[in-house]
Structure 1
């Protein structure tokens, strides 16, 4: 093991192994939930109205829905499959309940960080908006160096994620169709290149087509499975709640293991507090900063309460004898095979994983575009990052690199710390913006 790997593993053992990041993010969620008087609950109906309303966007900026699709694309990725599988494998069914709790709290954090990104964003000479943690660290706190640090740690994180996600696609296609990972990796890289290169970045337009399709397709199949097993649903819900509070012995063995698995996987999945989603959200053209904050808060709900819960139900409706002793993606594959048949099950998982992962790859490329813009407005900066991102996609597709995943964990931890270092000092501005919005628009709340 190299010195670099040892350092990365040591830092991860402190930040993630000692649950420091988990505690920080949970505290943030509770604090912002209380300070906003449960904004994520009071404005739930209004969030849906905003998402479906007509955009004021011009050709240079995103519509609220497009910004929602980009951030949802990165949230609703392989983590919604593998993350839920891991949570249930280690923490039992009760871990799902704690994922719900984390999503509810995280929705408030997502609202605050996105509202700040909207308030402190910048506009270039073409009228296009750019924002995110690096911008509110510079324009809100006057800490440009912190903004640069966020960009660097973000790129470290996203480089690892690009490789891991790409590898998930090539492996699933190898299992389902016996396709060579090298060939699949080339095709995947070329598809991504067609979207992100050219006179105009087509990421937003592609994702506002892919995200709804993949969500509807996935939920339709899960709905079929649930209806097919409707008589078992009361037992599944009973299992989730009973194991969540240790009334029944969870797979993890203790109530602590159940809670921590749900909390960790929930945080990994919904990304609230990491600073990623605001990078896309700040490019939306809306009438008031709070509006996009509310839309991104809704994104956290969609990620966990809808997609993650759907994945959990598929596994919990599977006979225990079928998946006993299994873990990881094999557990998920066997679960779908049980409900849909081995042939269709394998094909469906491969296709849905491709859609989830490809959308994640494009979303991360958009995040990189925004953050590189913070470092330089020169076109070579964008071109360099795009080539770098495509390289990560190709390399990840042909080989699995555990070190890159560990490096991604470290990058995620550091960018979260940097992000929240700006969010907390500036949060009063977001609170005031919410009060102004409530008074000005006289919203009828839930």
Structure 2
């Protein structure tokens, strides 16, 4: 087993260091320049659109909102990768890995924008809401079904089975550590009980559909993330005198001469970027599956929301873990994992912190299981919508959760890197030619913002697009040759007729609200 694991690790190191990381950096730099640094330029807009209200579905229920889609993707992002993955990156790559995680998030936010915008554009409506993701924009945007099938198979296996096994194992490790700290004897019996309980909780949710997953994630993710952040901030406050040293260690390890000579810089870069992708998933092709479910007025809105998710995950939650570990004693020995963070919390705050982290990790990893399941469900439906097969798939997910709780998983993290690398490669190769469409959508969005509008999109704005199902022309759209009212200021030529009319109406409303007298009666509009 060790020989197989060592072989996989060696292949991973070559594949990530010499192919995937350079490919991701090149494309992320191109996306950043081509979009005018959208991931930073429209940061305030991200906070505005995440509060957008959803529409009403044909069955009378509310659609998935921008925030709920954000919560589903955060449910997958915020979990083992933030607590276990960051600690592992520090153990293997040193403090410098933290800097490269930060830098990677700033750069690949552009890739997150592109992939989620495309997922919104090429989404489809089903009886339970919207579905979409890379498999859909590969099939409908690139018109390459085989590529979509390949991606759908890889993400289904990776997230719903492999990653969920990792999440369940991390929960068991954390609970076992707490039981051991209390004087108990963790073993196979405890692991079996945890596995059965976790599988049962998972079954209650995944048989309820995306709306139930969204509601669970919407409640649990913010609560647990805020609690974890508060604990991290408390660690920083009580160790405020050590903070300059820790920050200095991060930058010195990232760029230090000693590390450069010893090859430590390269290790820090690889570990930081690899664990950063596992955590924030930008460019990986997973978050767009959640982003496509939202009901929004413009595809670019979910591109912005999911970009914000990258920052929330890496700059905030991952940074909390990094400071917890580095403000304790990072040289804990043993296998890297959740115990590193638990030991660091115990060193900083005492034994009670071990149990607090266990509760937080349990709930965050559990919501990750749900988010990972949904990614698999979406892509399995792309492959085969037979209800019987979906039931088999759900039982397979429950089996993976149980097995992850009771089995040693020294090989799973290495296999996760393999599948994650294949996923990212297929997705990035699809984003390269499709990104031009995302940038045209961004240009349309920016034009409407400059004219004081809440951006809206219909297919009439880009009639050259093919295979787009959910963005047909709005009913009652105004003809292109609509005339301006007398005295109306010329509008931006980049806006279509409907946008110009909407801008005029909003401007008229603002003028009325500013006047002292009541509204004047309008004369008939010229045809």
TM-score using structure 2 length:
0.78
Show the 5 A alignment for 1:2-401. Answer: 12=12, 14-16=14-16, 18-56=17-55, 58=57, 59=61, 61-124=63-126, 126=127, 128-158=129-159, 159-177=161-179, 178=184, 180-198=190-208, 202-246=212-256, 249=259, 254-319=264-329, 323=332, 327-342=336-351, 344-401=352-409
Relative to its length, the structure with more helix (as a share) is 1
Change (3 A) 1:407 1:84: closer
1:5 and 1:223 map into 2 onto residues whose CA distance is 37
2:262 and 2:286 map into 1 onto residues whose CA distance is 31
Paired residue secondary structure (1:286): coil
Please list every run of 5 or more consecutive structure 1 residues that lacks an aligned counterpart in the other structure.
none
Paired residue secondary structure (2:36): coil
Change (3 A) 1:250 1:15: closer
What root-mean-square deviation, in Å, do the aligned CA atoms of Structure 1 and Structure 2 show?
2.6
Contact 2:55 2:63 in 1 (8 A): no
The structural deviation recorded for 1:283 is 0.6
For structure 1, which segment, 367-376 or 252-261, has the greater mean C-alpha deviation from structure 2 after superposition? 252-261
The structural deviation recorded for 1:263 is 2.1
The structural deviation recorded for 1:380 is 2.2
Change (3 A) 1:319 1:275: closer
Contact 1:373 1:381 in 2 (8 A): no
Q: Deviations over 1:201-242 (max 9, x none)?
A: 511110000100111110111111111122222222222223
Question: Which residue in 2 is equivalent to 1:410?
Answer: 418
Change (3 A) 1:48 1:90: same
Question: Which structure is larger by alpha-carbon Rg, 1 or 2?
Answer: 2
- State the structure with bigger RCO (CA 8 A, min sep 6), 1 or 2: 1
The structural deviation recorded for 1:356 is 1.8
Paired residue secondary structure (1:40): helix
Question: Which residue in 2 is equivalent to 1:435?
Answer: 443
Paired residue secondary structure (1:52): coil
1:277 and 1:21 map into 2 onto residues whose CA distance is 19
Please list every run of 5 or more consecutive structure 2 residues that lacks an aligned counterpart in the other structure.
453-527
**How many equivalent pairs are there?**
440
Q: Deviations over 1:399-429 (max 9, x none)?
A: 1234444333222222212112211111100
The structural deviation recorded for 1:88 is 1.6
